[in-house]
Amino acid sequence: MAEARAADRRVLRLKPGREKSLRHRHPWIFSGAVDRVEGDPVSGDTVRVVAADGTVLAQAAYSADSQIRARVWSFDAGATIDAAFIRQRIERAAASREPLRDPRHTGCRLLHGESDGLPGVIADRYGDVVVVQLSSAGAERWRDAIVEALAAAPGVACVFERSDAEVRALEGLGPRTGVLHGQLPASVVFLEDGLSYRVDVVAGQKTGFYLDQRDNRRAIRALASGRDVLNVFCYTGGFTLSALAGGAARVTSLDSSQGALALAGENLALNPALAGGRAEWLEADAFAALRRMRDAARSFDLVVLDPPKFAPTAAHAERAARAYKDVNLWALKLLRPGGLLATFSCSGGIDAALFQKIVAGAALDAHADAAIVGRFGPSADHPIALAFPEGDYLKGLLIRKGA
């Protein structure tokens, strides 16, 4: 009871006029909007968010060290944030993905943070292994409840934590990884579009695989037949295997990470139907390698460019824009007349309109007559809450180079 009363006293009062974003159901409260904090909450505690006029707007997770001072769990003023609330959110996310079930895929993003009403909580499923990534003080507070709910889903044999994203430091949290439930199999393998992939859940990027590109890999598969393909920033070979499965004549794949390329090679071997010596792997820096390929007069019918996040936030946008322009310019130069470029950006700091401008600038400088013939976004298990535009990070263009 004493604990319940203390919780009632934890209040975050907004400055006058700073409640608008909450009324629009945006889940972040920035430090600049906070008038005062009452009841001495510590990071992870639930606070009642109150407008200057006294209206209770939300229940949110407090984060003492972060510029994002609180993240909303619920806009229902009377909601109780407890293990049952967390479990309900996780069950709601699972139910929303039911219609997406498809026997060709055993990988799925189960929890997509703010867009699933669970700020700072990411969970990806690879077969019977779930990898969870907690990156906010509130997520950290409810870690046990999150893991328990994930472990209770049918067929889950292991929950592995990969809470080692750099953003945790902004919330005053250190990195943590390890098994939280069950046992991690020696090898984690899952199916995407009928192709097998091994995932390095312990040390791979993000949770080990880029599930957000699933639909786009299928699009490349459908475009690849008979083409000479270049896959830049190939990571563990997702677009490479997709292009080979689609009947590409040859696929050249490039990445600067030796570990990623080793796993990409393993992934190719896991799919004997794709054998046949059509794959070439290059360990290189993309910026230098594309220029060298041009010097060697190489050319391709289909180029995939899926670089890392050059601009995590808008503050990095300018430098990132130069990097995007550079790789797109060289990719367009390597493209044969009539060829296709599938170009992506996963930078939150670069929106779709700016990305299109950058690619247009690259085409101009490459003296390429080019047109957009398709657009790409994340697969449906990565929802983007309309109230949370920050969730709209992955965009892509399919560009046709004029003959």
From candidates 171, 255, 301, 381, binder to ligand SAH by CB under 6 A: 255
Least CB distance from residue 306 to ligand SAH, whole Å? 4
158 is catalytic: no
Is the distance from CB of 80 to CB of 46 less than 8 angstroms?
no
Least CB distance from residue 216 to ligand SAH, whole Å? 8
Give the footprint of ligand SAH on residues 261-300 (CB under 6 A): 285-287
Sheet of strand 176-182, all strands in order from the earlier edge strand to the far edge: 107-112, 121-126, 129-134, 158-163, 176-182
From candidates 85, 160, 239, 281, binder to ligand SAH by CB under 6 A: 239
Least CB distance from residue 3 to ligand SAH, whole Å? 44
Which residue stretches of 164-316 are H helix?
214-223, 238-245, 258-269, 286-295
Query: Roughly what angle, to the nearest 10 degrees, separates helices 352-365 and 317-334?
Result: 50
CA distances from 337 to 353, 396, 401 (A): 25, 21, 6
CA distances from 359 to 79, 234, 286, 349 (A): 46, 20, 17, 16
Q: Does 257 bind ligand SAH (CB under 6 A)?
A: yes
d(CA 284, CA 367): 26
Q: Does 224 bind ligand SAH (CB under 6 A)?
A: no
Is the distance from CB of 158 to CB of 130 less than 8 angstroms?
yes
Nearer to ligand SAH, 110 or 290 (CB): 290
Q: Does 235 bind ligand SAH (CB under 6 A)?
A: yes
Nearer to ligand SAH, 344 or 388 (CB): 344
Q: Does 323 bind ligand SAH (CB under 6 A)?
A: no
Is the distance from CB of 198 to CB of 189 less than 8 angstroms?
yes
Nearer to ligand SAH, 283 or 369 (CB): 283
d(CA 286, CA 371): 24
d(CA 347, CA 34): 28
From candidates 62, 73, 210, 376, binder to ligand SAH by CB under 6 A: 210
Binding residues for ligand SAH, how many (CB under 6 A)?
17
Catalytic residue among 108, 158, 234, 346: 346
d(CA 394, CA 350): 9
Q: Does 329 bind ligand SAH (CB under 6 A)?
A: no
Least CB distance from residue 330 to ligand SAH, whole Å? 12
Nearer to ligand SAH, 21 or 256 (CB): 256
Structure tokens at 85: 């609330």
Least CB distance from residue 125 to ligand SAH, whole Å? 17
- Site residues for ligand SAH per CB under 6 A: 210, 213, 233, 235-236, 238-239, 255-257, 260, 285-287, 306-308
- Write out the catalytic residue numbers: 346
